Amino acid sequence: GAGVSQSPSNKVTEKGKDVELRCDPISGHTALYWYRQRLGQGLEFLIYFQGNSAPDKSGLPSDRFSAERTGESVSTLTIQRTQQEDSAVYLCASSLMGGSNTGELFFGEGSRLTVL
């Protein structure tokens, strides 16, 4: 597709369950980012993938959070043993890297996670 695609758009789960959120970036974009947006707050960086380099995981809040990316395509963010404080909108963005990079990010519409 033309834009960043995220699924599911909404997910309601019970405390303690695992969830997987998926992001399909824009074709040709080598950089992929996950951010978390809690209600009334700004964007909190979680993890960054750039090509085949080791991901920057410095924003992951706990070891319950992990993410993978297959080559330069789809990424999956996994949250294990979900807690109520994990409730948020999880935003994925991709970016074109290389010599012409200007740092502009292209965002998906987000996956809204509600932990009961």
Q: Footprint of another protein on this chain (CB under 8 A)?
A: 4, 31, 33, 35, 41-43, 45, 48, 50, 56, 91, 93, 95, 97, 101-105, 107-110
By residue count, the chain amounts to 116
Which residue, among 57, 50, 53, has the nearest Cα to 97 in the 3D structure?
50
Beta-sheet strands, E only, within 25-104: 31-37, 43-50, 65-69, 75-79, 88-95
Nearer Cβ to another protein, position 31 or 81?
Answer: 31
Nearer Cβ to another protein, position 71 or 99?
Answer: 99
**Distance of closest approach, residue 14 Cβ to another protein, in angstroms:** 24
Rounded to 5°, angle at Cα 4 from 13 and 26: 140
Nearer Cβ to another protein, position 14 or 104?
Answer: 104
